[in-house]
Each structure stands twice: as structure tokens, then as C-alpha cells.
Amino acid sequence: MNQDRSEIIILETARLILRQFHYADLETLGIILRHREVMRYSLSGPKSRLETREFIQRCLTTYQAQRYGIWAVVLKPARTLIGYSGLIPQMINGRREMEIGYRLAFEQWGNGYATEAASAVRDYALKTLQLPRVISIIEPANTRSWHVAEKIGMTYEQDSVFGGKDVRIYALNR
């Protein structure tokens, strides 16, 4: 597999860079994705090293094929990896939707980084890709993510079931 560490920046905000993953991210991302609280609302739970490596591979493949996907979120100027954010195609209620998703290191919660990254992804989806709408699929107990969705302009649309779990759908139309 390609171990190239060249940095391909996709999006940039005042405090963050969203870039393609590279395999050198494996250790740091693995720590983030093994954390129980970070993965509390994940359908698959904490990830092993192998699952994290496979996740990075899927992220790289998806972006190369489709111009969207999940990207590494790094802090400026030190380039410290703090998580990921991006666009995830989903089938929900019989409809293909594009979800804005993110996960950040637990110690980075409460700094506004999720909102900042999700805002950049929203703009990319609606302006660059010209998608008609974006959604967020959020478990009812995940109030932090409700607030992120609302801060980036999404509104609650409906309750649903996704992956066998009750969820709330937030949406924003272009």
C-alpha cells in the first residue's frame, strides 16, 4: 500500500485543515477510534487497529473515485490530527442521502471544532458539489451533535430508525 505522506488539503477553515488521510495517521486515529466515549454513538463501537487501517483505505478510495468522503481534521499550525469529518452516503427511509459526519478526539470536545469542520463540509457539499441537501443522522441522546447540526443551519426533520437504532434526522436544503 502507498505510504505517501504528501498532504492533499481538501478544505481549510480559520483553525482547521481537512485533508486526505495517509497511513501515518493510523496510530493517532486508532487512539481516537478506540475511545469508548468518542465511539459511544457509533453503530460499530470502538475500532481495532485493523479496522482503523481499513477505514483509512475506504476514505482514500472513496475520495479518489467520487470527490467526496471522510477527511482527516488537523489543527493549524501544528498539523495535529484530532479526528475526521466529511460526507457519507446513506440510505435512509428508502432514499439516498448525503450525511455530514464527524468524530473528534475526546480531549478536543467543547472547542467548537466539530461545528467548524461540519460548516466547511456543508459548504463544500452545497456549493462545490451542488448537492440539493445534506443531513445528519443523530441518536436522540447525542445532544452535542444536535447542537452542531443546528449551529450549521440544519433543522430537525423527523424521527427514524437507522442501523436498528432510533435516530433523529436533521436536514439542510440548498
The whole-number average pLDDT for the span 143-158 is 97
The whole-number average pLDDT for the span 127-152 is 97
Residue 130 CA to residue 80 CA, distance in Å, equals 30
Grid cell digits, residue 63: 475520495
∠150-90-156 over CA atoms, to 5°?
25
Helix (H, G, I), strand (E, B) or coil at 169: strand
Domains of the chain (ranges plus CATH)?
9-173 (3.40.630.30)
Residue 101 CA to residue 84 CA, distance in Å, equals 8
pLDDT band for 2, please (50, 70, 90 cuts).
very low
Q: Which amino acid is at 66?
A: Q
The whole-number average pLDDT for the span 31-40 is 97
What is residue 6's predicted lDDT score, i.e. its pLDDT?
63
Residue 114 CA to residue 43 CA, distance in Å, equals 19
Residue 67 CA to residue 50 CA, distance in Å, equals 25
| pLDDT(51) > 60 | yes
Tens-digit pLDDT profile for residues 69-111: 999 999 998 999 999 999 999 999 999 999 999 999 999 999 9
What is residue 5's predicted lDDT score, i.e. its pLDDT?
53
What is residue 7's predicted lDDT score, i.e. its pLDDT?
75
